[in-house]
Structure 1
Amino acid sequence: MPIDLYYMSLSAPCRAVLLTAKMAGVEVNLKTVNLMAGEHMKPEFLKINPQHTVPCLDDSGFVLTESRAICAYLANKYGKNDNLYPKEPKDRALVDQRLYFDLGVFYASFADYYYPVIFHGKTSLEASKKKKLDDSLNFFNMFLADHDYAAGNHLTIADLSLLASATSMEAVIPTIFNDCPKIKEWIERCKNQITEYHDLNQVGADIFGQMGQSALEKIQ
């Protein structure tokens, strides 16, 4: 049976799953769910995923949500080796730490600062939240000081998740990493490692970026 992935291309978490599937060598059947049009609240989708979120994976009846859990599952079950998600406890723990950092600090601080304007109609940015975003960028830049990739010296699912986040952030604010040269180098390094990178990630990131820039222009 096909592996169905319910997704929306402008979503960074959805694109992280797409990147992982590609790197793990697994084919997924894409099913677009337009959140803006309320398709995630249709009864047929709620039956599959009562949480009504994307991404949502259905692997022959095994339904899984939360992008980082999906990435780990795909790497564990379908990866050709354990490079994407190492089995050695300390190596895996570092990958997990970076995934949690992406979820709770890196992208979270960007969303906390910019999403009220992009998605909720706020007419100004809350200055008090800017420092948390700046700190998160500096933390990640420091993580990359001694390693080529987010969790060591080869690409893992931590890179794929963080890359989807970082390129979404950069699409909205092209100068966001100007003071973080290690992040900029890492982005290009990751891009060169991923077959079909542009179609899998950059196209969706650019769509998100156009939406974000359009919202931000209204407050400038």
Structure 2
Amino acid sequence: MSAYRVIGLSPSTCTQRTLFTAYERQATVDLVPLNIMAGDQKKPEHLAKQPFGKIPVLEMQDFVLYESRAIARFINDTCSSGSTLIPSDPKQRAIFEQWASLEAGTYNPHIEGLVAQRVFVPMRGGQTDENKVKEHYNALKEPLDILNNNLANKEYIAGPFTLVDIFFTPYINMLLQLPEKDLIESRPNIAAWWKRVSSRPAFKKLYKQVEEDRAAMMSGQK
């Protein structure tokens, strides 16, 4: 298959899910940057591909797909290189789907919400709502305890390394840079899991690219 054309930005958490998947599968990606600071994501030509005005978007000839988890699944299902990131055994796949559902519905809303208050709200000129930070922080305690217990005898969340580990990665990476990083660091099995994830070559490739692209954007080169 030819290169996957992805409209997005590597510093974008959702784009990171897409790129991490592609790099794990040793796929070629043509990353097409979008100037979101100039509002290009709200222009008609982008809205025709992504009606919610967000990134990333995948284009393959006449096929267009949005939503990072859907794109990650598509790349995994269509890439011929690397190893699959979705188990084929029915029981293992069911466990994978269980945790993929939990990531999207239980964990991500609060991790993303906390990160948004600490990072994105101030970035847009707003003020962090400490009450909301506290709400998200407290809401994460029990689910993270459950995840910590799940990882007691597993290297990765669903057993082998899968897309669900990738789905969790971008926002946990950001959370670990915030004062609330104890949510991860105080839970030894999650901390050990993170060490394994962040040691993977695809992770290192991705976040090297993120730092380079972020620096270029800050200097006005992109």
Separation in 1 of the partners of 2:17 and 2:163?
8
Over 3 Å counting, the alpha-carbon distance change for 1:82 and 1:90 in structure 2 is farther
Which residue of structure 1 lines up, in the alignment, with residue 148 of structure 2?
141
After superposition, residues 151-170 of structure 1 pair within 5 angstroms as: 151-152=158-159, 154-170=160-176
After superposition, give the CA deviation of every residue in 1:107-158 in whole Å (9 maximum; x if it has no partner). Answer: 2112223424533424431233331122232222122112110101x21111
One-letter amino acid of the structure 2 residue matched with residue 194 of structure 1: P
Separation in 1 of the partners of 2:138 and 2:164?
24
One-letter amino acid of the structure 2 residue matched with residue 147 of structure 1: K
Separation in 1 of the partners of 2:79 and 2:213?
30
Over 3 Å counting, the alpha-carbon distance change for 1:128 and 1:2 in structure 2 is closer
Separation in 2 of the partners of 1:172 and 1:34?
26
TM value normalised by structure 2? 0.81
Which ranges of 4 or more aligned residues in structure 1 deviate by more than 6 Å? Answer: 205-208
Q: CA RMSD in A?
A: 2.5
Which of 182, 191, 198 is 1:184 aligned to? 191
Which residue of structure 2 lines up, in the alignment, with residue 42 of structure 1?
43
Q: Could you tell which deviates more after superposition, 82-91 or 38-47?
A: 82-91
Separation in 1 of the partners of 2:60 and 2:81?
18
Q: What secondary structure, in the 3-state scheme, does the structure 1 residue paired with 2:135 have?
A: helix
**Contact (CA 8 Å) 1:171, 1:206: kept in 2 or not?**
no
> Offset at 1:30?
0.2
Which residue of structure 2 lines up, in the alignment, with residue 211 of structure 1?
none
After superposition, give the CA deviation of every residue in 1:22-50 in whole Å (9 maximum; x if it has no partner). Answer: 11121111011233331211222122222
**Contact (CA 8 Å) 2:103, 2:168: kept in 1 or not?**
yes
Please state if 1:3 is matched with 2:8: no
**Contact (CA 8 Å) 1:2, 1:60: kept in 2 or not?**
no
Which residue of structure 1 lines up, in the alignment, with residue 105 of structure 2?
104
**Contact (CA 8 Å) 1:3, 1:60: kept in 2 or not?**
no
**Contact (CA 8 Å) 1:113, 1:125: kept in 2 or not?**
no
**Contact (CA 8 Å) 1:21, 1:27: kept in 2 or not?**
yes
> Offset at 1:74?
0.9
Q: What secondary structure, in the 3-state scheme, does the structure 2 residue paired with 1:57 have?
A: strand
**Contact (CA 8 Å) 1:68, 1:99: kept in 2 or not?**
no
One-letter amino acid of the structure 1 residue matched with residue 99 of structure 2: R
Which residue of structure 2 lines up, in the alignment, with residue 26 of structure 1?
27
Q: What secondary structure, in the 3-state scheme, does the structure 2 residue paired with 1:5 have?
A: strand
Larger relative contact order (Cα-Cα within 8 Å, sequence gap ≥ 6): 1
One-letter amino acid of the structure 1 residue matched with residue 141 of structure 2: D
Please state if 1:200 is matched with 2:201: no
> Offset at 1:207?
9.3
TM value normalised by structure 1? 0.81
Which of 113, 129, 154 is 1:124 aligned to? 129
Which residue of structure 2 lines up, in the alignment, with residue 215 of structure 1?
none
Separation in 2 of the partners of 1:91 and 1:146?
15
One-letter amino acid of the structure 2 residue matched with residue 181 of structure 1: P
One-letter amino acid of the structure 1 residue matched with residue 194 of structure 2: I
